[in-house]
Amino acid sequence: MVEGRVLGLPERSYPTLKVAIEYIQQGKPELAASLVWNLYTEGSLQRKLDGAATDQFPFRMPFIKFSKFADRKTIDFVYSFTDDNVIPADMMSDIYIIQNKDALIFSPVSFKTESYNIIDKRAKNFNQISSTYPNINLYLFYLETIEFSQYNPLNKHFINADFGRSYEYFQSRISDKIILKNLSLENLDDHLSNFFRTDHHWNIHGILKGYNKIYEMLSKNYPDIPEKFSPSSLVTFPNIKFLGTLARRTLYPIEGDIFTGFEGKLPKCKVSDQGVEGDYDYRDEYHKGRIPSEPYSRHYGQYFGSQDGLLEYDCETETNRNILIIGNSYIRPLVPIIASHYDRTYFLDLRQDKSFSLSHFFIEHSVDDILIGGNADVFFWDEDLWEIKP
């Protein structure tokens, strides 16, 4: 998990799996399923997997932890001659620790000459969508994160720090036919209030602020939009000490984040991923106390939800209006809330469907609104992945 390595399973240890594959090749999937199921329920698969991991990764975690410890001691020694409060969390990443805030952050990104070309290309893409589909309302919601903010405490040490310039230029290149809103940082404390200290994602407080901004934006062309959602309560899970992506990448010894969710009345919806109906978030499981307890569990993605392809909400609302939402994991927690204002809501993360095009989508789906939301990756940092084919 830490190294991102793939565990290879030696074939000689898995003759049953080999037989199961042969059954599949012979067109006998029911026999293959029975073999694998028996292998799993009797515990043989787990024991062999554990043995393979031990054989291929002996003592890896102790060495990794020792290496990170040595990193930190070296960094502490070097910075002991300075009065810097923000220092590297390790030697291998661009992650820093704000010592007096006990918070991990990314270093500033660089604004370069080629940034103008990338932003021009992305803005042109959004403007093209707007002109190609003039009868559909196009909304853009940008979430400012610390690495693109003028309030990153490391800006003074990075000559080409973005300092908010990317969004400022992007804003100037967007057609006035597009409604563009943002949730910007007002200061460093704003970041610490709206985002996790150990993870790059926003927390429930930032999420709800973002929802209020988006609701206001959608209301401009949706006069009879259902009443704004208001959570009945915020729920903090006392057994969770959330150690997110930044903590996992650095193994920095930091106190885990408080993890807070929400309760509130949302309309009944059928949810499907690529046509398969199911539960694609685990909020209810968490509220019932069924919470993963492993270190570095991905609570953000598990609680707020994930999917593999086109996610669809078919909700029991008193409207026939539909919306397509395109964005990344930052916008994902808002999908079920936004869906409460629509008949059908479609959500797509382009990282999961690189062949997506609006023209193909509109052959089978009709929408009144398109909302594109997320951080800088979605709008102007990634040159090709997030470009939307009209």
What number of residues does the chain have? 390
Report CA 30 to chain centroid distance, whole Å. Answer: 37
pLDDT confidence of residue 40: 59
- Three-state SS string over 318-367 comes to CCCCEEEEEECCCCHHHHHHHHCCCCEEEEECHHHCCCCEHHHHHHHCCC
pLDDT confidence of residue 249: 92
Residue 160 per-residue DSSP state: T
Q: CB of 268 within 8 A of CB of 316? A: yes
Neighbours of 171 (CB within 10 A): 15
User: What tens-digit pLDDT sequence spans the chain (390 residues)?
Assistant: 555 556 555 554 456 666 777 778 788 887 777 776 666 555 556 566 666 666 666 666 777 788 888 889 999 999 999 999 999 999 888 999 999 999 999 999 999 999 999 999 999 999 999 999 999 999 999 999 999 999 999 999 999 999 999 999 999 999 999 999 999 999 999 999 999 999 999 999 999 999 999 999 999 999 999 999 999 999 999 999 999 999 999 999 999 999 999 999 999 999 999 999 998 889 999 999 999 888 899 999 999 998 989 999 999 999 999 999 999 999 999 999 999 999 999 999 999 998 999 999 999 999 999 999 999 999 988 777 899 999
pLDDT confidence of residue 126: 97
Burial 110-133 (b: 16+ CB within 10 A, else e): ebeeebeebbeebbebbbebbeeb
Rounded Cα gap, residues 140 and 331, in angstroms:
11
Rounded Cα gap, residues 13 and 5, in angstroms:
20
Closest alpha carbon to 283 in 336, 227, 360, 210: 336
Residue 33, phi-psi category: left (phi > 0), alpha (psi -120 to 50), beta (remainder): alpha
Rounded Cα gap, residues 332 and 335, in angstroms:
5
pLDDT confidence of residue 295: 85
For residue 230, give both structure tokens: 């208001």
Rounded Cα gap, residues 49 and 61, in angstroms:
17
Q: CB of 361 within 8 A of CB of 133? A: no
Neighbours of 170 (CB within 10 A): 23
pTM confidence score: 0.84
Query: Which residues are within 8 A (CB) of 328 and not within 5 positions of it... i.e. 6 or more apart?
Result: 349, 351, 374, 375, 377, 378
pLDDT confidence of residue 32: 76
For residue 11, give both structure tokens: 């074939």
Q: CB of 107 within 8 A of CB of 259? A: no
